[in-house]
Structure 1
Amino acid sequence: MALLDNNKDVLPLASIAEILNAKIRTLRMYEDKGLLPKKKDSKKLYSISDIKIVAFVHYLASVKKINANGIKYIIEMLNTNMDEKNREEFLVTVEEKMEKISTSDINEVEII
């Protein structure tokens, strides 16, 4: 049995929207604003690891009501001031907190 490569780009944004119980239109808006991991391929597939970043962006926008510039700054800080291990631990902690929030508590943000 082959091991799962969490960094291989295999998921379209529509699948991630379904996983996060978010609107595809909202995630495409994040993508257009440059808040999601950059993809060189025209297919714009995302990895399992990318889902944590997409979920974090969605959390910041929809729950914490942070605008696009604020989210860009936070993501930049994560990428430049944290090593990979600490960043991963931080995203796991955020993911655990997000799981405690019911989907009825999250209001979709259509405009950042």
Structure 2
Amino acid sequence: MALLDNDKDILPLSSISELLSAKIRTLKMYEEKGLLPQKNQKIKKLYSINDVKIIAFVHYLANIKKINANGIKYILEMISENMDEQNRNVFLEIVESKLENVSGNEIQDLESF
């Protein structure tokens, strides 16, 4: 049995906003525009570790690269349709490592958003 199941839905948006240093309202806006992984929970939506990687990628595209919602949807659709799960996970790990090295100026831009 694996110690950690990265697909188990355990994190609310409030916790993800703290992890990403993002405003919860920003994440809710992404959710309203259909940019976050779709969840079936009715009362409180929870997200997995793998979902957090996608949410971080969406946040990066929106706030640092200044891509609009339609552009982000297109990018996510291309990733979903053209990559198998293994390649998608490798891609998201690469993105995660790149996000860890975001410059100080870009982080300040994120915080002032």
Do Structure 1 and Structure 2 share a fold, with TM-score over 0.5? Answer: yes
Where does 1:82-97 land on structure 2 (aligned, <5 Å)? 82-97=83-98
Q: Hey, what's the Cα distance between the residues in 2 that align with 1:103 and 1:16?
A: 21
SS of the equivalent of 1:89 reads helix
RMSD: 1.7
Q: Deviations over 1:14-62 (max 9, x none)?
A: 1000000111010000000000000000211001110000000000001
Partner of 1:51: 52
**Is residue 34 of structure 1 aligned with residue 34 of structure 2?**
yes
**8 Å contact 1:21–1:103 — kept in the other structure?**
no
Closer, same or farther: CA 37–103 of 1 in aligned 2, 3 Å: farther
TM-score, normalization by structure 1: 0.91
**Is residue 4 of structure 1 aligned with residue 4 of structure 2?**
yes
- Alpha-carbon deviation of 1:4? 1.4
- Alpha-carbon deviation of 1:6? 1.0
**Is residue 73 of structure 1 aligned with residue 69 of structure 2?**
no
Q: Hey, what's the Cα distance between the residues in 1 that align with 2:2 and 2:97?
A: 28
TM-score, normalization by structure 2: 0.90
Structure 1 unaligned segments of length 5 or more: list them.
none
- Alpha-carbon deviation of 1:5? 1.2
> Which stretches of structure 1, 4 residues or more, deviate above 3 A after TM superposition?
none
Identify the range of structure 1 (81-90 vs 97-106) with the bigger mean alpha-carbon deviation. Answer: 97-106
Aligned residues: 110
Q: Hey, what's the Cα distance between the residues in 2 that align with 1:49 and 1:105?
A: 24
Q: Hey, what's the Cα distance between the residues in 2 that align with 1:2 and 1:89?
A: 19
Q: What amino acid sits opposite 1:65 in the alignment? A: K
Q: What amino acid sits opposite 1:86 in the alignment? A: N
Q: Percent identity?
A: 66
